[in-house]
Amino acid sequence: MQTELGFTRRAYEIDAEVTALNLGEILYLPTYRRIEKDIKSIFPDIESRIRTRIEEGHMAPRAGAGFKEIAGFGMGDIQQIVDGYTSDIRDYRRLASETASQEYIRDIVTGKIKKYSLSNLRRMPDDDFEEFKNSLDDKLFTSADRESFRKRIDDLRKRQSGQPTAESRFLGMFVEKLLAAHMLVKDREHPLRLFVDLVSSYLKPGKRALLNGHQIVIRSYADDDMDVPLDKLSSGEKQIVSIFAYLLLSGQRDFILMIDEPELSLSVPWQKRFLPDLIRTESCAHIVSVTHSPFVFDNNLRSSVVDVRRLRVAADD
């Protein structure tokens, strides 16, 4: 008991020392980092037994002033991160669209519409316009409406001479402002899109992460295109979803990421690409990984490998 108390005290002291260095938040992935089942399915009366350690149906990971442990029961904490980020994106899109609409009304009232030029519309990249067109609400635009809209805008963009009609100016200006709002949202969505791409590349054949509107779904094409809840993923898939959700969707950057045995539940191909993909998120200031697998550093990080046994010998000297 005394030893355990001493260890706990020292752990808090180290936490305080690391926090004082102001290096950034530490994310720690311990060896046993995610229990497969939600804790309530294991202990139905858990809320009454350990109420102080549970929050909204999942066991809260340990955290301090300068660190957070990515561990828990089930995937409740990860679902909260994903839902929170997608909710923020929806709010941002609504605000961007409202601002664009108000700017449009302002430009009509102030007479700017009379001097509107189609030059900006002509310079619009085709891919951006196509993406904008596809983002239009299916409840309001039929496929025929979208095609008619595309044709109208294409005609305006190809127009080389003559003064556009008032109707064309109104349409062109409004589309231009909505497209600008769409591009702002697209920039804000970049971490979300990267999360979907990275997670998809690790899922087993027949599964894919999708961005459905602003909702992330894991779809199984082997099961009649059914959506798979996060807590029904395999052990390795859960680890991947968890770490990339923290790095890309938590709203924080410059993590110091510490991983004990990253190879757990990961196939050999996944082990080889895991650390490079973590770097790809651009969310980590430093990554420290302890592994028994030769494949984890079988990539462009091989020069960063340090044999801990040699460090111990050097310390003894």
Question: Over 60: is that where the pLDDT of 35 sits?
Answer: no
- Long-range contacts at 226-230 (CB < 8 A, ≥ 24 apart): 229/75, 230/75, 230/78, 230/79, 230/82
* Matching residue, tokens 């609400």: 137
Q: Which of 157, 188, 219 is the last residue of a domain?
A: 188
Q: Provide the CB-side half-sphere exposure for 46 (13 A, CA).
A: 16
* Matching residue, tokens 């004990």: 260
pLDDT digits (tens, 9 = 90+) for 63-106: 555 556 665 556 888 888 999 999 999 999 999 999 999 999 99
State residue 277's pLDDT score: 96
Asked if the structure places residue 65 within a domain, the reply is no
Asked if the structure places residue 317 within a domain, the reply is yes
What DSSP assignment string belongs to 103-129?
HHHHHHHTTGGGG--SHHHHTS-HHHH
- CA 180 to chain CA centroid, Å, is 23
Residue 208 DSSP label: E
Question: Over 80: is that where the pLDDT of 57 sits?
Answer: no
Number of domains present in the structure of the chain: 2
Mean pLDDT of the chain: 80
Q: Do 264 and 172 share a structural domain?
A: no
Asked if the structure places residue 220 within a domain, the reply is no
State residue 8's pLDDT score: 67
Q: Do 179 and 264 share a structural domain?
A: no
The SS3 of residue 150 is helix
pLDDT digits (tens, 9 = 90+) for 99-156: 999 999 999 999 988 888 888 888 888 888 888 888 888 788 888 888 888 888 888 8
d(CA 247, CA 233): 19
Q: What is the mean pLDDT of residues 239-250?
A: 91
Q: Give, in order, the Cα–Cα distances in Å from 126 to each of 150, 253, 307.
A: 11, 33, 52
pLDDT digits (tens, 9 = 90+) for 251-267: 888 888 888 898 888 88
State residue 134's pLDDT score: 80
Question: Over 90: is that where the pLDDT of 307 sits?
Answer: no
Lowest mean pLDDT among 9-13, 270-274, 300-304: 9-13
pLDDT digits (tens, 9 = 90+) for 164-177: 788 888 888 898 89
Element (H, E) at 259: strand 255-260
d(CA 55, CA 61): 10
Q: Do 267 and 177 share a structural domain?
A: no
Asked if the structure places residue 205 within a domain, the reply is no
State residue 42's pLDDT score: 42
Helix boundaries (H) for 135-165: 143-158
Question: Over 60: is that where the pLDDT of 23 sits?
Answer: yes
Lowest mean pLDDT among 11-15, 64-68, 195-199, 306-310: 64-68
For residue 11, what are the contacts with CB-CB under 8 A and spacing of at least 6?
none
In percent, the amount of the chain with pLDDT more than 70 equals 78
pLDDT digits (tens, 9 = 90+) for 167-219: 888 888 898 899 999 999 999 999 999 999 999 999 988 899 988 766 788 99
State residue 27's pLDDT score: 82
Asked if the structure places residue 34 within a domain, the reply is no
**Phi, then psi, of 106 in degrees rounded to 5:** -60, -45
d(CA 131, CA 189): 13
Q: Which of 188, 222, 241 is the last residue of a domain?
A: 188
Asked if the structure places residue 167 within a domain, the reply is yes
Both tokens assigned to 156: 């305006």
Domain that holds residue 299: 259-280+287-317
Question: Over 80: is that where the pLDDT of 312 sits?
Answer: no
**Phi, then psi, of 84 in degrees rounded to 5:** -65, -40
Q: Do 184 and 263 share a structural domain?
A: no
Q: Which of 188, 205, 226 is the last residue of a domain?
A: 188
Asked if the structure places residue 131 within a domain, the reply is yes
Asked if the structure places residue 142 within a domain, the reply is yes
